[in-house]
Structure 1
Amino acid sequence: MFTQKRRSRLRWACRRGMLELDVLFMPFEEEGFDQLSEEDQVLFERLLTCDDPDLFAWFMGHEACKDPELARMVSHILHRVKV
């Protein structure tokens, strides 16, 4: 379970300073995070610790994420954006 403090840190981590990532992460955190399992919430938190150039490459399809769990979360977020 995410405490209010942990959730606030998560929201702050969604603000990347790169518009392409901000428009993915910020709405996802607001609208999709609560629907994730607790395991996937932790996975999303871990995704946000990755470097921006890697995140950009994964979300823009320039390269595949080598971590299967993170790749699944990237796919989940992209699917939500397309729906």
Structure 2
Amino acid sequence: MTDATELNRLFWHSRRGMLELDVLLVPFVREAFSDLEEADQQRYRKLLECEDQDMFGWFMQRSEPDDPDLRRIVRMILDRVQPK
């Protein structure tokens, strides 16, 4: 379980200052993070340690993370916003 202080910290770390990332990460942490399994929450925290340029490429689907954990969380975030 993640407490309010941790969620607030994650919210601020999710604000990257790059609109393309902010529109994906901020709603994800607000709306979906709390419902994730602990392992996926850890994957999200790991994602936030990555460079913005790397994340931009992943979310624009120009490349994929080499790390399978990062690949999983990127896919989860993209699946939330892409039409089915």
- TM-score normalised per structure 1: 0.92
Q: Distance in 2 between matches of 1:46 and 1:4?
A: 19
Q: Distance in 2 between matches of 1:31 and 1:17?
A: 20
The number of residues matched between the two structures is 83
Q: Quick one: percent identity of the two aligned structures? A: 48
Aligned match of 2:10: 10
Q: Distance in 2 between matches of 1:71 and 1:28?
A: 16
Alignment RMSD, CA only? 1.1
Is contact 2:2–2:34 with CA below 8 Å preserved after alignment? no
Mapping of 1:7-46 within 5 angstroms? Answer: 7-46=7-46
- TM-score normalised per structure 2: 0.91
Q: Secondary structure at the match of 1:65?
A: coil
Aligned match of 2:71: 71
Structure 1 residue 11, shift from structure 2 partner: 0.7
Structure 1 residue 33, shift from structure 2 partner: 0.8
Deviations 1:8-62 (A, max 9, x none): 2111011000000000001111111122101111111110110000000111011
Runs of 4+ in 1 over 6 A off after TM superposition: none
Task: Give structure 2 stretches of 5+ with no counterpart.
Answer: none
Structure 1 residue 2, shift from structure 2 partner: 2.3
Q: Distance in 1 between matches of 2:11 and 2:19?
A: 15
Q: Distance in 1 between matches of 2:35 and 2:3?
A: 16
